[in-house]
Chain A
Amino acid sequence: MAVDEALIKEYKGRLPEPLLKIFKTYADEVGLSKANQKKAIQQVEHKFLASKIHPGEAIGIVTAESFGEPGTQMTLRTFHFAGVAEANITLGLPRLIEIFDARKDISTPIMEIFLKKQPKDERELEKIIASIKEIKFAEVIESITINIAKMQIEVVLNKKRMKDLEITSEALRRGLGVTLKTVDIVDKDDLLVMKPKVKELTLPSLYSIKEKIKEAPVKGIEGIKQVLPVKRNDEVLLISAGTNLKKVLEIDVVDGTRTLSNDIFEIAKVLGIEAARNAIIREVSRVLHDQGLEIDDRHIMFVSDLMTTTGAVKGVTRSGITGEKESVLARASFETPIVHLINASMVGEVDRLNSVVENVLINQPIPLGTGLPGLVTKMKGDEKDEQ
């Protein structure tokens, strides 16, 4: 018996799409008659409406506890690695705290770089990797010395390595020129002589310039320290240590629609606030999934919605979403109470006692559950007026 399309159409908008889809497949499988289909979908709608969150439900607390309980189990199993190629990535509770606090400097920035076309062979893959990975000047030289007599730095280049990495001497010069604007670079046979254009040159300053030269990027993308190819679902992708989403997305061979960073702030900056919200959901679910924990998607979505309502990513900290609460007492009850109270009293803030914590503090019913609706008593006199 086919599914009654008219019935499905009637319930479109009243029931969510995925639910209708499930209903369709089941009705088809079981072979319900049209009359029974109608009865069944009425039951589905009834259940759906009954399972909706009621006004006054404390979803914040429910979410906090849903994260809190499995979180206690996580601490014990923090140091498990996810695989050889991806070893040593911050996982588990430390990573979860990192995401929720919205830390700006995360401990292991990682990028997943997808490619538009699969590379034909290893050579091609290596070439792509070489174009992404940041190469410092120190990697393409044999030796670097300070000539004290002439007060200059002399570098012997590793020509073979340069050829392997496809770095021409012009490209090298260009790369060096960006970091070292005040240094004259002269080619002398195999020697690269660098003489800083400073009037009074001292040995310590020359030494610090030498260290700076070694760190100068000459090729690749700034911040990408290491690139490893990984095979996932019959597809080769690159995992990089260090992130630079903006620059990597601009590379031709990179599939810009899928390439990701695990740095939430970077995503917010490059892709926008909605992408950051999706990234938070994605990262949190992945951490939980890796640990074998199940937390309902709704809780994760709720937290990430809260973290992104202001248009910028805010952590669950005193400077983040808690610091943005309207009530002084609510802010004071979280962390550093004195600071909040002093600041509020100086500007004459008013607490309207609209939320939970402040009402707990002053021993009043909280606006949750049965505390939410107010009671209006009908006096005898009122009745008369109505008649």
Chain B
Amino acid sequence: MAEKFDIQEHKLIPKHTKLSDDEAQKLLEQYNVSLRQLPKILKSDPALKNFDIKPGDVIKIERESPTIGKVNFFRVVINA
């Protein structure tokens, strides 16, 4: 067992990126929702291992949808 495998490269995991506070605010305004209404992601989620995050941050997930191609999905970080 040499270097540890980076699970971010697993094909089941879409690309996760953290939104800046401004971007997050824009997103909430665009969809007219509050943070509470967004789908959640746990702070301890393995896909966010190398991220510097705190509860309340918004994570952008670039999904590959079988029907409409690339699609952005958003989740808000919560404490486990």
- Interface residues, chain A, with chain B CB atoms under 8 Å away: 16-19, 249-252, 256-258, 260, 267, 269-275, 278-279, 282, 297-298, 301, 305, 308-312
Contact call B12/A256, Cβ cutoff below 8 A: no
Q: How large is the interface on B (under 10, 10 to 19, 20 to 34, 35 or more residues)?
A: 20 to 34
User: For chains A and B in complex, what number of residue pairs have CB atoms within 8 angstroms?
Assistant: 88
Residues of B within 8 A of A271 (CB): 7, 10, 12-13, 46-47
Shortest A313–chain B CB gap in Å is: 11
Contact call A273/B45, Cβ cutoff below 8 A: yes
Contact of B16 among A16, A250, A274, A310 (CB under 8 A): A274
Bound Cα distance A269, B12 (Å) = 13
Interface residue? B5 (CB, 8 A): yes
- Interface residues, chain B, with chain A CB atoms under 8 Å away: 1-2, 4-5, 7, 9-14, 16, 39-42, 45-48, 61, 63, 65-70, 75, 78
Please judge, given known A-B contacts A311-B40, A311-B75, whether A17 and B47 are in contact too, CB under 8 Å.
no
Contact of B78 among A250, A260, A311 (CB under 8 A): A311
Residues of B within 8 A of A250 (CB): 1, 4-5
Shortest B61–chain A CB gap in Å is: 6
Which interface residue of A17, A249, A272 has the most chain B CB atoms within 10 A?
A272
Residues of A within 8 A of B11 (CB): 257-258
Residues of A within 8 A of B2 (CB): 252
Q: Which 5 A-B pairs have the closest CB atoms?
A: A272-B47, A17-B69, A16-B68, A311-B40, A275-B12
Please judge, given known A-B contacts A250-B4, A252-B1, A258-B11, whether A273 and B68 are in contact too, CB under 8 Å.
no
Residues of B within 8 A of A273 (CB): 41-42, 45, 47, 75
Contact call B10/A275, Cβ cutoff below 8 A: yes
Shortest A269–chain B CB gap in Å is: 7
Give the residue name and chain of the B residue nearest to A275 (CB). B12
Shortest A18–chain B CB gap in Å is: 5
